[in-house]
Structure 1
Amino acid sequence: MGIFSWIILGLIAGILAKWIMPGRDPGGFIITTLIGIAGAFVGGFLGSLVGIGGPVSEISIGSIVTAVVGALVLLFIYRKVKG
Protein backbone atom coordinates (compact mmCIF):
# COMPACT_ATOMS: atom_id res chain seq x y z
CA MET A 1 0.00 0.00 0.00
CA GLY A 2 1.36 3.39 -0.91
CA ILE A 3 1.91 6.31 1.41
CA PHE A 4 -1.24 8.00 0.11
CA SER A 5 -3.30 4.96 1.14
CA TRP A 6 -1.69 5.04 4.59
CA ILE A 7 -2.70 8.70 4.92
CA ILE A 8 -6.28 7.96 3.86
CA LEU A 9 -6.42 5.01 6.26
CA GLY A 10 -4.99 7.20 9.02
CA LEU A 11 -7.54 9.92 8.33
CA ILE A 12 -10.36 7.39 8.61
CA ALA A 13 -8.79 5.94 11.78
CA GLY A 14 -8.36 9.38 13.33
CA ILE A 15 -11.97 10.34 12.67
CA LEU A 16 -13.26 7.03 14.05
CA ALA A 17 -10.99 7.23 17.11
CA LYS A 18 -12.23 10.75 17.82
CA TRP A 19 -15.82 9.54 17.44
CA ILE A 20 -15.22 6.58 19.78
CA MET A 21 -13.28 8.65 22.33
CA PRO A 22 -14.91 12.12 22.27
CA GLY A 23 -13.62 15.03 24.26
CA ARG A 24 -11.56 18.14 23.96
CA ASP A 25 -8.14 17.49 22.54
CA PRO A 26 -5.35 19.99 22.66
CA GLY A 27 -4.57 20.53 18.98
CA GLY A 28 -7.92 19.89 17.32
CA PHE A 29 -8.61 18.21 13.99
CA ILE A 30 -5.10 18.36 12.55
CA ILE A 31 -3.48 16.73 15.57
CA THR A 32 -6.23 14.09 15.67
CA THR A 33 -5.59 13.35 11.99
CA LEU A 34 -1.85 13.04 12.57
CA ILE A 35 -2.51 10.75 15.52
CA GLY A 36 -4.74 8.67 13.24
CA ILE A 37 -1.99 8.37 10.63
CA ALA A 38 0.54 7.41 13.30
CA GLY A 39 -2.07 5.02 14.74
CA ALA A 40 -2.33 3.29 11.39
CA PHE A 41 1.39 2.61 11.48
CA VAL A 42 1.42 1.65 15.17
CA GLY A 43 -1.65 -0.57 14.79
CA GLY A 44 -0.10 -2.34 11.80
CA PHE A 45 3.18 -2.82 13.65
CA LEU A 46 1.52 -4.13 16.82
CA GLY A 47 -0.76 -6.37 14.76
CA SER A 48 2.24 -7.93 13.06
CA LEU A 49 3.95 -8.49 16.43
CA VAL A 50 1.04 -10.45 17.88
CA GLY A 51 0.41 -12.33 14.65
CA ILE A 52 -3.00 -10.96 13.70
CA GLY A 53 -1.77 -9.31 10.55
CA GLY A 54 1.18 -8.03 8.67
CA PRO A 55 1.79 -4.95 6.63
CA VAL A 56 -1.51 -3.75 5.26
CA SER A 57 -1.82 -4.42 1.55
CA GLU A 58 -5.26 -2.90 1.06
CA ILE A 59 -7.80 -0.79 2.86
CA SER A 60 -10.25 -3.23 4.38
CA ILE A 61 -12.37 -3.52 7.50
CA GLY A 62 -9.55 -5.38 9.27
CA SER A 63 -6.96 -2.75 8.42
CA ILE A 64 -9.31 0.04 9.53
CA VAL A 65 -9.99 -1.72 12.85
CA THR A 66 -6.27 -2.24 13.43
CA ALA A 67 -5.54 1.39 12.58
CA VAL A 68 -8.36 2.64 14.84
CA VAL A 69 -7.05 0.59 17.76
CA GLY A 70 -3.60 2.08 17.20
CA ALA A 71 -5.10 5.58 16.96
CA LEU A 72 -7.10 5.05 20.17
CA VAL A 73 -3.96 3.99 22.01
CA LEU A 74 -2.04 7.02 20.75
CA LEU A 75 -4.97 9.38 21.44
CA PHE A 76 -5.20 8.06 25.01
CA ILE A 77 -1.46 8.52 25.55
CA TYR A 78 -1.57 11.99 23.96
CA ARG A 79 -4.40 13.10 26.25
CA LYS A 80 -2.58 11.83 29.33
CA VAL A 81 0.65 13.58 28.36
CA LYS A 82 -0.92 16.87 27.27
CA GLY A 83 -3.84 16.88 29.72
Structure 2
Amino acid sequence: MGFFAFAILGILTGIIAPIILPGKHVGGWFVAILLGLLGAMVGGWIAGLFGLDVYTTFWNFSGWVFALIGSIVVLLLFGLIFGRKRSSHLVV
Protein backbone atom coordinates (compact mmCIF):
# COMPACT_ATOMS: atom_id res chain seq x y z
CA MET A 1 0.00 0.00 0.00
CA GLY A 2 1.33 3.41 -0.89
CA PHE A 3 1.77 6.39 1.40
CA PHE A 4 -1.40 8.13 0.21
CA ALA A 5 -3.58 5.06 0.76
CA PHE A 6 -2.00 4.51 4.18
CA ALA A 7 -2.72 8.15 5.11
CA ILE A 8 -6.36 7.77 4.03
CA LEU A 9 -6.62 4.59 6.10
CA GLY A 10 -5.21 6.38 9.15
CA ILE A 11 -7.52 9.36 8.71
CA LEU A 12 -10.60 7.13 8.39
CA THR A 13 -9.69 5.04 11.42
CA GLY A 14 -9.01 8.28 13.30
CA ILE A 15 -12.59 9.32 12.55
CA ILE A 16 -14.08 5.92 13.44
CA ALA A 17 -12.18 5.28 16.71
CA PRO A 18 -13.72 8.17 18.72
CA ILE A 19 -17.17 7.09 17.56
CA ILE A 20 -16.55 3.60 18.96
CA LEU A 21 -15.13 4.84 22.26
CA PRO A 22 -17.68 6.45 24.57
CA GLY A 23 -17.16 9.75 26.35
CA LYS A 24 -15.52 13.04 25.59
CA HIS A 25 -12.04 12.88 24.07
CA VAL A 26 -9.13 15.21 24.63
CA GLY A 27 -8.26 17.44 21.68
CA GLY A 28 -11.31 17.04 19.47
CA TRP A 29 -11.55 15.67 15.95
CA PHE A 30 -8.29 17.07 14.59
CA VAL A 31 -6.25 15.37 17.30
CA ALA A 32 -8.28 12.18 16.79
CA ILE A 33 -7.38 12.15 13.09
CA LEU A 34 -3.69 12.66 13.86
CA LEU A 35 -3.88 9.90 16.44
CA GLY A 36 -5.57 7.73 13.82
CA LEU A 37 -2.55 8.12 11.57
CA LEU A 38 -0.30 7.10 14.45
CA GLY A 39 -2.73 4.33 15.37
CA ALA A 40 -2.57 2.84 11.88
CA MET A 41 1.19 2.55 12.32
CA VAL A 42 0.75 0.99 15.77
CA GLY A 43 -1.80 -1.43 14.30
CA GLY A 44 0.70 -2.48 11.66
CA TRP A 45 3.30 -2.99 14.36
CA ILE A 46 0.86 -5.12 16.41
CA ALA A 47 0.05 -7.20 13.32
CA GLY A 48 3.78 -7.62 12.71
CA LEU A 49 4.13 -9.09 16.19
CA PHE A 50 1.75 -11.83 15.06
CA GLY A 51 3.70 -12.31 11.83
CA LEU A 52 0.97 -10.79 9.64
CA ASP A 53 1.47 -8.48 6.67
CA VAL A 54 -1.82 -6.61 6.77
CA TYR A 55 -1.08 -3.55 4.67
CA THR A 56 -0.71 -5.25 1.30
CA THR A 57 -3.77 -3.59 -0.26
CA PHE A 58 -6.10 -0.79 0.79
CA TRP A 59 -9.17 -3.03 1.00
CA ASN A 60 -7.52 -5.74 3.10
CA PHE A 61 -10.02 -6.33 5.94
CA SER A 62 -7.38 -7.38 8.45
CA GLY A 63 -5.47 -4.18 7.71
CA TRP A 64 -8.54 -2.11 8.59
CA VAL A 65 -9.13 -4.12 11.76
CA PHE A 66 -5.55 -3.73 12.98
CA ALA A 67 -5.48 -0.04 12.04
CA LEU A 68 -8.69 0.50 14.00
CA ILE A 69 -7.34 -1.45 16.98
CA GLY A 70 -4.16 0.61 16.87
CA SER A 71 -6.15 3.85 16.68
CA ILE A 72 -8.26 2.87 19.67
CA VAL A 73 -5.16 1.93 21.68
CA VAL A 74 -3.44 5.23 20.84
CA LEU A 75 -6.60 7.23 21.60
CA LEU A 76 -6.99 5.51 24.97
CA LEU A 77 -3.33 6.07 25.88
CA PHE A 78 -3.53 9.71 24.82
CA GLY A 79 -6.63 10.16 26.99
CA LEU A 80 -4.90 8.56 29.98
CA ILE A 81 -1.84 10.75 29.62
CA PHE A 82 -3.44 14.07 28.68
CA GLY A 83 -6.95 13.59 30.12
CA ARG A 84 -8.57 15.65 32.80
CA LYS A 85 -6.24 16.72 35.54
CA ARG A 86 -7.59 16.33 39.02
CA SER A 87 -6.89 19.02 41.53
CA SER A 88 -4.70 17.87 44.40
CA HIS A 89 -5.61 20.82 46.60
CA LEU A 90 -7.20 19.94 49.89
CA VAL A 91 -10.07 22.11 51.00
CA VAL A 92 -10.08 22.51 54.77
TM-score (norm 2): 0.81
Q: Measure, in 2, the Cα distance between the counterparts of 1:42 and 1:72.
A: 10
> For residues 23 and 36 of structure 2, what CA distance do their matches in structure 1 show?
16
Report runs of 4+ in structure 1 exceeding 4 Å deviation.
Answer: none
Q: Which protein has the larger Cα radius of gyration, Structure 1 or Structure 2?
A: 2
Two-structure CA RMSD over aligned residues (Å): 1.2
Aligned equivalents of 1:55 and 1:19: distance in 2?
A: 23
Preserved contact between residue 13 and residue 40 of structure 1 (Cα < 8 Å): yes
1:54 is aligned to 53
Identity percentage over the alignment?
Answer: 35
Give the C-alpha shift of residue 23 in structure 1.
2.3
Query: Which residue of structure 2 lines up, in the alignment, with residue 40 of structure 1?
Result: 40
Instruction: For residue 22 of structure 2, give the secondary structure of its aligned residue in structure 1.
Output: coil
| Stretch of structure 1 that moved more, 54-63 or 71-80 | 54-63
Does the CA contact (< 8 Å) of 2:39 and 2:73 recur in 1? yes
53-62 or 10-19: which moved more? 53-62
Q: Which runs of 5+ in 2 are unaligned?
A: 84-92
- List alignment gaps of at least 5 residues for structure 1: none
Higher helix share: 1
Deviations 1:29-70 (A, max 9, x none): 11100111111111011101122x225121222111110000
Q: How much does 1:79 deviate? A: 0.3
CA distance in 1, matches of 2:20, 2:26: 17
The 2-side partners of 1:16 and 1:65 are apart by 11
Separation in 1 of the partners of 2:7 and 2:46? 18
- Return the TM-score normalized by structure 1: 0.89
